[in-house]
Structure 1
Amino acid sequence: MRPFVQYPLRAALGHGNRRTLSSLRELGGERVSVVRSSSTEFGANIQKPCSSSGHRCRVLSSNHYQMLLGRSETTIPQFSRLIHVTKAVDQEGGIPVEDEGKKLVGKQYECIHADLVADGDVGLITLDRPKALNALSHALMVEVVDALQTFDASTQVGAIVLTGKGKAFAAGADIKEMKDKTMVDAYASRFVGHWNAVTAIRKPIIAAVNGYALGGGCELAMLCDIILAGERAQFGQPELNLGTIPGIGGTQRLIREVGKSRAMEMILTGKNFMGAQEAAQRGLACRVIPAMFSL
């Protein structure tokens, strides 16, 4: 069994979060191990398998962990422990089943590519409609959600990277597909529902923006947990030029990320796109990396 890297749930382990270990161990028939960590212990333990008996492991994300926490008599001290969950996959033979993430290797999608990188610890999703600047069609979003959910169910994948092929991350929704649809049609076809499904993914999603992230493309990037901006990245909300408005929470999220005045300028003019450096300075992006960065 390959080594499993434990990730600390620092944000989740607060003094106000309480639950008995016996209660945690009963979750879904799974066993919960609590491992004390220090700088030396963590460095020594991360290369060890989390189980020696044919069990597979998964790490609770901070959101999932907070959801599980309740009130009881036992306090879990902040920053002092790591939580991981082990589950027997074959009680009789002790043989691990195929990891969910591996099911995507070689799977044929029409609008995206999905693969495992970094020795299988990272799921990589690449939007692959370069001639359409990776316009976010209904079919593309269905495939993105399918890949995200598969990686999310993986016991091996710890993070997911979302990027675009060519000179755009995504230049917006597929206008040709939407031109004859009303908002009622969009909701009836689950077009909006597929976008909301992105926010339900428990593992961290990193948007690697390597070009235009406009309209729905900018909104998709903001649905991710972290944005890394290539030197040529351009963020914008030009929907006004088409007689519409951002429909996937762009008006709310952009204001929270860059401030009201700058966000309103971008939304109400449909112009004045934000470059990579400004995005990093204002906090929309985490940092700027070389345009030809390697994933």
Structure 2
Amino acid sequence: MTSTEFETAAPDPIVYLDRVAATDLGRSYKARMLDELDIRPGQTVLDLGCGPGTDLTSLARAVTGTGTVIGVDHDPAAVETARARTADRHTVTVRLGDIHDLPLPDHAADRARTDRVLQHVADPARALREFHRVLRPGGRLVMGEPDWDTLAVDHPDSELSRAYTRYVTDKVVRNARIGRELPRLAAAAGYTVPSIVPITPVFRDAQEADKILGLERTTRRAVAAGHLTEEAARRWLEHLSTGPFLAAVTFYIVIAESSSPSRGH
């Protein structure tokens, strides 16, 4: 089942986040999210689930020396890295915290962003209510999330492709359909949603796709869980590594605006 074309061990989480951010896709969608935030000098901006601080510097440039950027993450290693990377930025603070229960007062921020975080959290609806609590009325939240149910990988055996996507959607990613769900969840949390930007990257290079999708790692997990046979996995990976390759998945950037506090706050 093993292919020498693909990674067999999961990369360190910080290495993975840095890798995605350095791709053309990563730079492109992050720039679009920054544009949609519409940050003004002097504002307070939150990066919720900031990881190793990948985006804190660009946010700091946007608020200028008169603003404030606060990163929050639950992972101590990521927080330590983010603090080290922004040590020379006096406007940036990084805090250890749970985005379901932010270490921030009500109406503390003008802008907030979250990038590929809500697909993993225990309760996205609760997190959105918490974001609403800390945003000022008229504040803006920009979220970027994939919809893994849209993952399409070309293979001569279309049933294999469907089985692989079902496994990713149903077993691998906690909130795999969050991209399409965000507008509804945001509305329920008290936001208006003026704009939704779908982005569908198309991967033509198998190795580049593997760096983001983890094709072989995920296939191995599917075999171990009984969702694919060894033979099916062998045929799947053999074609992906040798034949013409195409994969695509839709990523949603959802812009939400805070009005009056939601019920319960």
TM-score, L = length of structure 2: 0.26
Determine which structure has more spread, i.e. the larger CA radius of gyration.
1
The two structures have a TM-score, normalised by structure 1, of 0.24
Higher share of residues assigned strand: 2
- Specify which structure has the higher proportion of helix: 2
Structure number with greater CO (CA < 8 Å, separation at least 6) is 2
